[in-house]
């Protein structure tokens, strides 16, 4: 099904959303595939239907609109749902297929640039008629309450906010997906898996300014469970692969295997700040290279960062337990931090660190050595000497077959 047969122009200027919706509607009820061929198609809030896929040809690009009026507003949804270039709400058997690209055109939404932090300042749609609070700009791909989803073979580029968000979904597959966001752009996470189950991410590459792959939960949306990330390459000025910080529900049965982390501010991160716990996690066969970036980006060059602490006084945090990390090679500007920061209870316990080969060396001059606990209540960042492994308020931690080498002027 060629979307041009339904009036799409593909000149990058004409809004082609109505043509996409007409093509999708024509496939009902059995479904099928809508193809975008040879052109640049300007779209906003394209709603996928059950049994429907978008196919982007290798000479086609879907361009996310940067015009607020192009996104219909439903007051029953938050901005994160209304402002999505492509979305699926309560759909089954749907997705996006490559080898073409979807671009969110983030740099066209820059309001300024901060040279001291090497960071763009994005526009935010906070004015009338909706008076949004938050990041308030479009996400690229959003699925909510959906099942049997597939993203395969396409490139997702320059999203103004999170690139992909899967909320309360089940049976999700991402394979051979390439995600690129400008490293100077805040909050352009690559893949956010949120209160979802049975998720497989394989043979993909993600390079973003904010977290590359983020596993989290949302209150009332259920746990995150049975997630595998394997054979991927990731890079981030924040955390390459992160659990949290939103953890009101449980996160469990996660496997990270054969992952290469490049040029990141933080490698593997556990950031438990709400009442749900993270447990039954295996991290194996990971190659890490981390460095420090300006302090606007959370992190301190750690290859491994495990923290469980209260977001605010009186708001209890969950625990991190039954976690095994093994067969890891790391070249980093900082070591591993495992901390139940406020020490009110041993939030971190039953952790195994095995066959970890860490080399510490100074590569940059961006920041002074520190322990970065953000987000939590003060003090969030503490100046500290660099350690290979630093344990604070932990219990039942096994360290076996690990080595630390200091090079140069460390």
SS3 sequence of the chain: CEHHHHCCCCEEEEECHHHHHHHHHHCCCCCEEEEECCEEEEECCEECCCCEEEEECCCEEEEECCCHHHCCCCCCCCHHHHCEEEEEECCEEEEEECCCEEECCHHHHEEEEECCCCEEEECCCCCCCCCCCCCCCCEEEEEECCEEEEEECCEEECCCCCCEEEECCEEEEEECCEEECCCCCCCCCCEEEECCEEEEEECCEEEECCCCEEEECCCCCCCEEEEEEEEEEEEECCEEEEEEECCCCCEEEEEEEEEEEEEECEEEEEEECCCCCEEEEEEEEEEEEECCCCCCCCCCCEEEEEEECCCCCCCCCCCEEEEEEEEEEEEECEEEEEECCCCCCCCEEEEEEEEEEEEECCCCCCCCCEEECCCCCCCCEEECCCCCEEEECEEEEEEECCEEEECCCC
* Burial bucket for residue 356 (CB in 10 Å: 0-12, 13-18, 19+): buried
* Residue 91 structure tokens: 């759909």
Do 382 and 341 contact (CB within 8 A), yes or no?
no
What angle (nearest 5°) sits at the alpha carbon of residue 159, between those of residues 233 and 184? Answer: 70
| Domains (range + CATH), the chain | 189-410 (2.160.20.10)
Which of the residues in the chain have pLDDT under 70? 342-346, 366-367, 410
Do 74 and 87 contact (CB within 8 A), yes or no?
no
For 181-239, the pLDDT digits (tens) are: 999 999 999 999 999 999 999 999 999 999 999 999 999 999 999 999 999 999 999 99
For 361-383, the pLDDT digits (tens) are: 988 876 678 899 999 987 899 98
* Confidence at residue 344, expressed as pLDDT on a 0 to 100 scale: 59
Pick from 343, 334, 349: which is nearest to 395 by CA?
A: 349
C-alpha span between 300 and 376 (Å, rounded): 16
pTM of the model as a whole: 0.97
The string over 303-316, giving b where at least 16 C-beta atoms fall within 10 Å of a residue's C-beta and e elsewhere, is bbbbbbbbbeeeee
* Confidence at residue 363, expressed as pLDDT on a 0 to 100 scale: 83
* Residue 302 structure tokens: 């750690």
The alpha carbon of 372 is separated from its chain's Cα centroid by a whole number of angstroms, namely 20
**Tokens 């970890």, residue located:** 356
């Amino acid at each position: 099904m060629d979307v041009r047969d339904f009036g799409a122009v593909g000149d990058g200027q004409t809004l082609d959303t109505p043509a996409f919706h007409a093509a999708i509607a024509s496939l009902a009820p059995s479904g099928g595939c809508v193809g975008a061929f040879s052109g640049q198609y300007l779209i906003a809030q394209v709603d996928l239907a059950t049994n429907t896929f978008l196919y982007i040809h290798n000479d086609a690009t879907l361009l996310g609109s940067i015009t607020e009026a192009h996104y219909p507003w439903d007051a029953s949804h938050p901005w994160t749902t209304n402002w999505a270039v492509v979305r699926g709400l309560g759909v089954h058997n749907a997705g996006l297929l490559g080898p073409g690209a979807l671009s969110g055109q983030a740099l066209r939404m820059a309001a300024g640039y901060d040279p001291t932090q090497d960071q763009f300042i994005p526009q935010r749609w906070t004015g009338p008629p909706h008076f949004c609070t938050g990041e308030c700009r479009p996400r690229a791909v959003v699925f909510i309450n959906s099942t049997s989803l597939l993203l395969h073979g396409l490139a997702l580029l320059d999203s103004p906010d999170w690139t992909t968000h899967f909320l309360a979904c089940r049976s999700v597959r991402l394979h051979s997906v390439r995600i690129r966001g400008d490293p100077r752009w805040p909050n352009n996470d690559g893949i956010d898996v949120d209160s979802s189950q049975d998720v497989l991410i394989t043979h993909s590459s993600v390079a973003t300014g904010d977290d590359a792959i983020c596993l989290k939960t949302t209150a009332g949306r259920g746990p995150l469970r049975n997630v595998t990330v394997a054979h991927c390459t990731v890079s981030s000025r924040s955390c390459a692969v992160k659990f949290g910080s939103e953890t009101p529900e449980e996160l469990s049965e996660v496997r990270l295997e054969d992952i290469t982390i490049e040029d990141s501010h933080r490698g593997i991160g556990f950031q438990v700040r709400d009442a749900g716990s993270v447990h039954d996690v295996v991290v194996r066969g990971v190659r890490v290279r981390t460095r420090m970036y300006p302090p606007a980006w959370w992190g301190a060059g750690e290859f491994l960062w495990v923290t469980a602490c209260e977001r605010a006084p009186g708001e209890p945090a969950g625990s991190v337990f039954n976690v095994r990390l093994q067969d890891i090679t790391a070249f980093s500007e900082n070591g591993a931090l495992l901390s139940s920061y406020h020490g009110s209870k041993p939030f971190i316990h039953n952790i195994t660190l095995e066959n970890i080969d860490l080399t510490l060396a100074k590569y940059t001059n961006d920041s002074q050595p520190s322990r970065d606990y953000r987000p939590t209540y003060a003090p969030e960042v503490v100046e500290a000497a660099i350690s290979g492994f630093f344990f604070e308020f932990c219990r039942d931690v096994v360290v076996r077959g690990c080595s630390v080498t200091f090079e140069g002027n460390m």
